[in-house]
Each structure stands twice: as structure tokens, then as C-alpha cells.
Amino acid sequence: MSNASFQEKRILTTGNYACAEGAITAGCLYFAGYPITPSSEIAAYMSRRLPQVNGTFVQMEDELASITSCFGASYTGKKAMTATSGPGLSLMAESIGLGVMLEVPTVIVTIMRGGPSTGQPTNASQSDVYQTRYASHGDYEIIVLAPSSVQEMYDLTIRAFNLSEKYRIPVIVASDGIVGQMMEVINIHSNIELVERKKPQVPPEKYKPFEAFDDDLVPGMAIAGTNYSFYVTGLTHDIEGDPQMTPEAAEVLIKRLCEKIKKARPQINDWEEKHLEDADTVILAYGINARGVPEVVEQARQKGYKVGLVRLKSLWPFPDELMERIGQMGVSKVIVCEMNNGMIIREVQRFQHLFTVSGITIPTTIPFSPKFIYEKLIKEV
């Protein structure tokens, strides 16, 4: 690990270090974490790096402590991040809902490994895709990004901070044990747009912490410890932040919390696409498992098969609009490749009125090879 900051334009580094450095670039000044393979290098890197930018690194006593202390730091105005893996995210589950409820910007990185339970700690997996979406109880929406390279560990961590600040919500970066630990050359950009959370739009005496004035349904956020005093609670609350136990209060609050993310889907969703213009079959993949797919698509096209590619860079909220577009473009079949027993495929199956859906969904710990995918593909087209 180098002590030097990432000044150079091109550097060779690991996914976990790139993620940590992306966080620093995004303005992260607080990291709280708890050791867990294969994410621990993020904490180790932050323990050296944050003091260099006057930030604070704290190793907590467990994951509950890690995430809720991040909320505390965010509540008082710092950009905060924690990093973990499946079992740790399980322990954070209740607090993810709390973060949604308090509307505190926070970034949670999960480096997926084999599960359930202890599973295969040193291997990769994509089996926590539902966990990132549904970990907490209650009705809520969440934003989840899926990097598939070391470069994207850097880029999407920055983006995660931006989205979390913009929409006042915990954003999860869902990577895996391979992307987290592999090394690649990455480009460090000089002009990065950073988003800061919306400030209160009224003076302290008129401030209501959950009053949203704008169409984006995001209230301005005060900083605790300034002359704005405000109460935040996991209880259902009204725009003043006061607990309200009426059915109407639940409906109003939950609808706003969900709607602010749902209506921003076109701005949040991100993907890479290739050859969709003439494709009749599309391979859909994400994360590490998408790395072999471009090769498959090129090979298939050389043989005359009209195959296209979609690689999701954001998983949740699911990009419904993209599926509708694929259907309108005349794609007749979508093949979903994922390293789990079938998770994203079920989202794609909601669009079976537009195209047929099949999957290569295997709960394995190594990404599918191009040869393997190609052989499956030519049986289907």
C-alpha cells in the first residue's frame, strides 16, 4: 500500500484501494468499519489515508456500530462510508432502513463473497443482490451500484457519494471478492463533478427537517450542531420530524421516501450497451461476471448471430425503462448471466410480454468463461 495519494493519471491498484481512493476524491471524511474478508483492505487503506486529509478513521466493535456511527457523522455534516461483506451487511440490515428513514447520505460498500452464512469468505459471489435491495424490513427503495472493474470501483464509489448526497439516502456499492482484490491500471480524472447535499431552504426558526419544497421530493438537510436543531427518528414522522402514529402519516412518509427514488430512475440508472440496434438476442450481465461477455458477443457476431450486450452498472432501482426500450427495439430474447441462483433474472422476467427471458444463473464463486457462455448461447439462438 502506498501512502502517496493518487496524483498520477494512471496507476496500478486493487479494486478495494481504488474504492477507498474514490471515496477520498468524493470528499469522504469519515470511515467506520469492522474487519471482514474480502473487504478489510478498504478499512486498512482508510486508516492510513484519512488522517492525511484531516478525516477520521474508526474501527468499530461490530457492523451495527460501523453503519450507525456513519449516520452520526453524516448527521453532523460529514460524508461517511463503511465497507463490509455479506455477513456484515446482514448485521447492518436494520440500520439500512434507519438510514432511509433518517435520509442521511452514507455510502455502504459490500464486497460480495460466497454465502449464505460464512459461505466462502475468500471467494467472489453475486448472491447478495437481493440482500442489497431487501436487507431491511419495511417498504423502501434503495440505490445499488455494481462495478465490474477496478476503474469502476473508483468511479462508482464517487458516483455513490454523489447519489447519496443528492437523494439523501444510503447508497450501496455492491462489488465482489474478485473485483475488490484484483489489480488493474486505472485512470484518475482531474475534473470530477461532486454533489453536495441540499442545504436548508429556510432560516432555522422556519426549518422543518422533512419538508420537501422541490419536485425531487428531497428535503434540505441541516447540520446537527449548528443553529438548526432537529430531531431525526426511525419512528414514522411528519415533516417536522415528530413521531406520528396515524395511518396517514405512514402513507405520506413512505410514499415520499419511495417516490423520490422511483421518479429519479432515469438519472440514477446506468449501464453499458453494445449492438442493440440490430440485436435479436441480448446477453444481460453485471459485475465481474460481465467481463467475459463482450468476447462472447463479438465471437457470436462474427458467426452471424445478431447478439447484443447490456451490462448493468446500477442494479437498484431496477432499470424498467431500459427493459421497455429493449422490447421496443425488437429484441426477442434476453439471456441473463449471474453468479447466483437467479435474482436479477426475476426482474427481467417482469418484461416477458416484450421478449422471452432465459438465464445462466449458477450460485458459483468464479465468473463464467466466454467459452461457457458462448456454448450456452448458440444453443439458444
Partner 1 sequence: MVKVMDIPEEEFIYPGTRACAGCSMALIYRIALKALGPNTIITVPASCLTVLHGMQGFCTTKVSVYHTPFATTGAAASGIVASLESKGLSDDINVVAFAGDGGTVDIGIQSLSGAVERGTNFIFACYDNEAYMNTGVQRSGSTPPGAFSTTTPEGKTGYKKNMAKIMEAHGIPYVATAISSYPLDLYEKFQRAKGITGSKYLHILAPCPPGWGYEPKNSIEIGRLAVQTGFWPLYEVIEGKFILSKDSRRFLDASKRKPIEEYCNSQKRFRKISKEEIENHKRYINDLWNEIGQRLEEI
From the list 38-46, 99-107, 275-283, 285-293, the region that binds partner 1 by CB under 8 A is 38-46
Instruction: Determine contact, residues 198/82, Cβ cutoff 8 Å.
Output: no
Return the residue of 6, 17, 30, 34 that touches partner 1, per CB under 8 A.
34
Which residue in 341, 229, 42, 77 sits closest to 66, CA to CA? Answer: 42
From the list 55-63, 149-157, 240-248, 253-261, the region that binds partner 1 by CB under 8 A is 55-63
Question: How many Å apart are CA 15 and CA 124, to the nearest integer?
Answer: 13
From the list 56-64, 67-75, 130-138, 290-298, the region that binds partner 1 by CB under 8 A is 56-64
Q: Quick one: 33 or 359, whose CB is closer to partner 1?
A: 33
Min. distance of Cβ 118 from partner 1 in angstroms? 6
CA atoms within 13 A on the CB side of 329: 20
Element (H, E) at 166: helix 150-167
Return the residue of 27, 47, 294, 364 that touches partner 1, per CB under 8 A.
47
Return the residue of 89, 91, 107, 188 that touches partner 1, per CB under 8 A.
91
The yes or no reply on residue 36 touching partner 1 (CB under 8 A) is: yes
Return the residue of 6, 17, 30, 57 that touches partner 1, per CB under 8 A.
57
With vertex at residue 291, the alpha carbon angle to CA 156 and CA 115, rounded to the nearest 5 degrees, is 75
Nine cell digits for residue 311: 451490462
Question: How many Å apart are CA 219 and CA 154, to the nearest integer?
Answer: 28
Return the residue of 4, 5, 12, 48 that touches partner 1, per CB under 8 A.
48
Which residue in 230, 203, 216 sits closest to 76, CA to CA? Answer: 230
Q: Quick one: 62 or 375, whose CB is closer to partner 1?
A: 62
The yes or no reply on residue 43 touching partner 1 (CB under 8 A) is: yes
From the list 33-41, 176-184, 246-254, 372-380, the region that binds partner 1 by CB under 8 A is 33-41
The yes or no reply on residue 205 touching partner 1 (CB under 8 A) is: no
From the list 30-38, 167-175, 250-258, 306-314, the region that binds partner 1 by CB under 8 A is 30-38
Three-state secondary-structure class, residue 113: strand
From the list 35-43, 94-102, 271-279, 352-360, the region that binds partner 1 by CB under 8 A is 35-43
Question: How many Å apart are CA 145 and CA 173, to the nearest integer?
Answer: 5
Min. distance of Cβ 248 from partner 1 in angstroms? 38
The yes or no reply on residue 118 touching partner 1 (CB under 8 A) is: yes
Nine cell digits for residue 173: 456499492
Instruction: Determine contact, residues 373/296, Cβ cutoff 8 Å.
Output: yes
Element (H, E) at 286: strand 281-286
Q: Quick one: 59 or 332, whose CB is closer to partner 1?
A: 59
Q: Quick one: 18 or 43, whose CB is closer to partner 1?
A: 43
The yes or no reply on residue 56 touching partner 1 (CB under 8 A) is: no
The yes or no reply on residue 69 touching partner 1 (CB under 8 A) is: no
Binding to partner 1 (CB under 8 A): which residues in 296-315? none
> Starting at the edge strand that comes first in sequence, how are the strands of the sheet with 271-274 ordered?
271-274, 307-312, 281-286, 333-338, 356-361
Question: How many Å apart are CA 88 and CA 63, to the nearest integer?
Answer: 6
Relative to beta strand 307-312, strand 271-274 is: antiparallel
Nine cell digits for residue 134: 431487501
The yes or no reply on residue 117 touching partner 1 (CB under 8 A) is: yes
Q: How far is CA 17 from CA 34, 153, 288, in A?
A: 16, 9, 17
The yes or no reply on residue 40 touching partner 1 (CB under 8 A) is: yes
- Which spans of this chain sit near partner 1 (rule: CB under 8 A)? 34-37, 40-41, 43-44, 47-48, 57, 59, 61-62, 87, 91, 117-118
